Structure 1
C-alpha cells in the first residue's frame, strides 16, 4: 500500500507543482490588464475574463519595447529616461541598483551564472556547487588576490537563497556541466546525476 502511495505521489506531485507555478505566474501577469482604462478591459468589452490574455499582452509589450529600444533613437530615449530617473533622490538608488543586477543577470555581456564551479564551503574538505558571477572590481580588486572570482553558493533545495563569496581562482574548479544541470543537481539534493556538457 505504501509503495503505491509513494508511486502515485511521484506522478502527481511534479505535475501539481508545475501547474501551480504556471497558474501563479499567469495570474500575476494578467494583473497588467488593470492598468488599462476600465472601458478598455477585455472583461468589459466581451463580457467575460480571458485567462492568460494579460500574459500575452505583457509579453508582447516587453518584446515591442525591446525592438523599439534596439535602434539608435530608442537607445537615446532610454538614456534620456534614465537621466531623468537618476535625478530623483530615492528613485535613483532603487533604479540604479535594480538595473545593475538585471544587466548582470540578463544582459548579453553579463557573466553571472555562466559557469558552474566546485568550491570548498563552508570549510576545507567540504565541497559544494557554486556559480561564477563575475570578478571583484574597484577597491576590492586591489585587496584580493589578482585572480579572484566572485561566486554564488546556492542553498538546497531553494537555490534562490545562498551566499556570495570572493575566492582565489586556484581554489575553484570549473565543472564540465551546464548551469541547468548544476541547478537540477542542487535542487534534487544530489539525487539527480548531472550530465556533462556536450560540444
Structure 2
C-alpha cells in the first residue's frame, strides 16, 4: 500500500475511534461521579452492602430515577405549590438567591417544553469584519438597553466550539444579520464538529408548473 493510502486508512480509523473513546470517557466520568453520591448514604443503605458486590452505574440510575420522580411529583397541584414555596425561600437567601434566580431563568428558557431559546440559526460577522460565525437568535434587547441602541437590534448567542454551552451574548443590528436556511440542530452539529460535519445544502426550490391549456 502507498504511504498516502496508509495515512488515509489511519485517519479513517481515528475518525471512528476518537468519538467513541470520548463518549465512553464522558459516560465513565458521569457514572463514576454519580456513584460517589451513594457514599453519602448510611452504610446499611449502600448497594454494595445490600448485594455484596460493586454495582457500577447505580448512582446514575438512581439520579435519573430521582429526577423523573421530582418531575412527576411537580406536575400536580401540590407539587407546584411546594416548588413555588421553595423558590420564594431560596430567592431571599443572600448571595445564593441571585445566583439561583439567574440559573433558574436560564434553565427555564432552555429546557421548557414551550420555550424557544434558540429560535433561528444566523450568520453574523464576528469577531471582526470579514470573519463570519454562526449564532442563534434568542430574542430582542429589552429594558434600558433599547434606549441606548442606535438602530433596531436582535439578541444573538454565539456558542464556542467544540463546547457550545459557553459562548458570547451579542446585540447585533438587524440589518447585519443573515438568517440561515438550516435547522438549529444542524447548526449545533456544525459548531460542535468545528466545521467538519457540514449540513446538507438546502434543496432547490422547484418552480410551480402551470397546467398547459389545450389548444382551442
Superposed pair shares fold, TM > 0.5 = yes
TM-score band, normalised by shorter chain: 0.7 to 0.9
Q: 2:92 aligns with which of 87, 91, 94?
A: 87
Q: 2:163 aligns with which of 154, 158, 166?
A: 158
Write out per-residue CA displacement over residues 4-59 of structure 1, whole angstroms, 9 at most, x where no aligned residue: 33232222112111111121122222333233222111011111121112111111
Matching residue of 1:101 = 106
Is it true that 1:180 corresponds to 2:194 in the alignment? Answer: no
Give 5+ residue unaligned stretches, structure 1.
none
Distance 2:108 2:24 in 1: 30
Is it true that 1:24 corresponds to 2:57 in the alignment? Answer: no
Write out per-residue CA displacement over residues 106-149 of structure 1, whole angstroms, 9 at most, x where no aligned residue: 12343322321111112333221111223222111333367422
Q: How large is the RMSD of aligned CA atoms in angstroms?
A: 2.2
Structure-1-length-normalised TM-score: 0.87
SS at structure 1 position matched to 2:63: helix
Q: Does the 8 Å contact 1:111/1:134 carry over to 2?
A: no
Write out per-residue CA displacement over residues 144-185 of structure 1, whole angstroms, 9 at most, x where no aligned residue: 367422111123333333221011223212222222211221
SS at structure 2 position matched to 1:48: coil
Q: 1:129 aligns with which of 129, 134, 142?
A: 134
Q: 1:37 aligns with which of 31, 34, 42?
A: 42
Highest CA radius of gyration, 1 or 2?
2
Query: Relative to structure 1, is the Cα distance of residues 88 and 187 closer, same or farther in structure 2, using a 3 angstrom cutoff?
Result: closer
Structure-2-length-normalised TM-score: 0.81
Matching residue of 2:61 = 56
What is the deviation of 1:196?
6.0
Q: 1:4 aligns with which of 1, 9, 18?
A: 9
Q: Does the 8 Å contact 1:178/1:197 carry over to 2?
A: no
Distance 1:137 1:197 in 2: 34
Q: 1:139 aligns with which of 127, 135, 144?
A: 144
Is it true that 1:77 corresponds to 2:82 in the alignment? Answer: yes
Is it true that 1:171 corresponds to 2:196 in the alignment? Answer: no
